[in-house]
Chains A and B, each alone.
Chain A
C-alpha cells in the first residue's frame, strides 16, 4: 500500500506546484500597472461629474438612446456594456431604452447629453 500513498502524494504535489506556478502567472498578468485606473472606475467618475454639472435628474426614469453602437448589431456587446455602465453610475435614475420619456440620455460619437423632448412632439 505504501507505493500507492507515495504515488498519491506525488500526484498532489505535482498538481500543487503546477497550480502555484499558474496562480503566480495569473497574478502577474492581472496586477495593475502603476497609475492604472479601470475603465468602469474612469467611466463612473467622469459620468457622475458630468451628470452633476449638467443637472441630470437624480431619480425617476429617463429614456436611453445609443446613437454610437445601438444601430449596429455587430456592436451589441459594446452597446450593452455602455448601457449597463451608465445605469450603474446614474442609479437610482432609471435608463429606459424602450419607452418614450420627457428626457432622453443620448450617446453619440462625441459624448453624451440629455435631450429634452420638444413640446410640439407631445412627449
Chain B
C-alpha cells in the first residue's frame, strides 16, 4: 500500500511543483492552495500514463530504469521550482454567513459515496463488464506480456483502438505494487472521483465563492449515474475529470483577462489527456477550439485568441504525442469509423433514428441524477443570475463545450454501424455522466450564490473582470 501511495503521489507531486511554479500571480497575488493540488493530481497521473506507454516502443517493458526515470523527473521538477510562492490571500471580505458551513453536507455525502464504492468493490473487485473486457484486460496485457507487449493492440481484443490512459496508468501502478492487485484500479477510480469533486469545489469556490463549490460538489456526489459509473472501473470518470479541468482552465484564463500563456497551455494539456483517455475525448479537442472561437468572435479578440490557440496546442503536445504514436503505430481501426460506407447517408436521413436518440437523451438527462435534476432546476430558477458586479468568468465556454460534445455524441449514434438500440443502451448514460461535472460547473458558475440571492453580500466585483 505504501508503494501504491508512492506511485500515485510521485507524478502528482512533480506536476504540483510545476503548476505551483508557473501559476500566474505566483508573486504578490499568491497561488490558491486546493485547485492547483487537485489539477496536479490528474495532470501528473495522466502524463505518467503517457510516458509509461511511450517507454514500451522506446526501451521495451518498463522496469528499474523506468522507476529511476520517474525519480529523475521529480528531481527536475524540484530543481525547476523557483521558490515557494505565497498562498493566495482569502477572497474579498464577504460577511461570514451560514453558507461557509456548506462543506458539511459535501463531507457527509462524500463519506457515504466512498462507503458505497467500497461495498461494490468488495462485491466485484474486478469491476464491471467493460473493466475486465477492455480496461483492466489491457492493463494486464501491458503488465504481463513483457516482450510481447504489442499483443495489447491485437485486433483480437475488443476495442483495442481505445486510448491507454487508464490501462497504462493501472499497469504503471502494478509495476510499483509488484503484483496485479485488484485494489489498484479501484483506488485509481476513487482518486479520480475525488480529484473531480476537488476541482469542481475548489474551482467554483475560487471563481465564484459563496459556497457555490461546496453545493456543486455535493450535487455531483448526489448524482446517481455519476456514483454508479464510478464503481465500474471504466474510463468515463477520468474523462469527466479532464473535460472539467479543461473548462476550469479556460475560466481561469478569462478571469485573468485572457493574458499570459499558462492557463491555455494547462487547458491544452488537460484536453490532450482527455483524448488520451477515450476516443470521445478527441471530440473535446474540437469542442474546446470551437467554443473558444465563438468567444473570440463575440469579443472580436482574434489576436488574443491566436495566442491562446498556440499555447493550447503547446499544452496538447505531451498527450498528443502519446496518442499519435499509439494511433499511427499500434491501434487497429476504430469500429465506428471503419463501419462507415454509403449507408451512412441513409442513417443520417433516417428520422426514426433521430427520434430514438433524442428520446433516449431526453430521458437520460433525468436518469443522470434523478431528483437532483429537478432540484437543481428549481434552485437555478429561485436564485437567478448573480448581481452584475459579482459575475465571474462567462459560462459561454463551458456551456458550449457541453452542447458541442452532446451534439457530437448525437452524431456518433446517428452514424453508428452497430445496432442503435444496443449502442444507446450500453453507453449513452455513461456518456452523459462524462459531461455531468462540467454541466454542474456551468450551472453554479452562472447562478447566484445563496448569499448573493439573499442580498447578504455587497455588490462589489469579487473576481475581477466580468464577462
Contact = CB atoms under 8 A, between A and B. Distances in A.
Interface of A: 1-2, 4-5, 7-9, 11-12, 14-16, 18-20, 22-24, 26-27, 30-32, 36, 38, 40-41, 44, 59-61, 81, 84-85, 87-88, 91-92, 94-96
B420 interface: no
B409 to A, nearest CB: 24
The 5 closest A-B pairs by CB, nearest first: A15-B375, A92-B145, A84-B133, A32-B123, A8-B382
B344 to A, nearest CB: 25
B88 interface: no
B443 to A, nearest CB: 13
Interface stretch (B10-18, B38-46, B112-120): B112-120
A67 to B, nearest CB: 20
Interface string B94-124: 0000000000010011001101100110111
Contact of B129 (A14, A18, A81): A81
Most buried by B among A59, A92, A96: A92
Interface string B179-190: 000100000000
Contact of B375 (A12, A41, A81): A12
B55 interface: no
Given A4-B453, A12-B375, A94-B151, A20 B136 contact: no
Interface in B362-408: 371-372, 374-376, 378-379, 382-384
Contacts of B182: 41
A85 B382 CA distance: 50
A102 B319 CA distance: 40
8 contacts: A1-B455, A12-B215, A15-B222, A20-B109, A22-B371, A38-B124, A92-B141, A92-B152
Given A4-B382, A16-B218, A88-B136, 5 more contacts: A19-B371, A32-B119, A41-B182, A84-B137, A87-B157
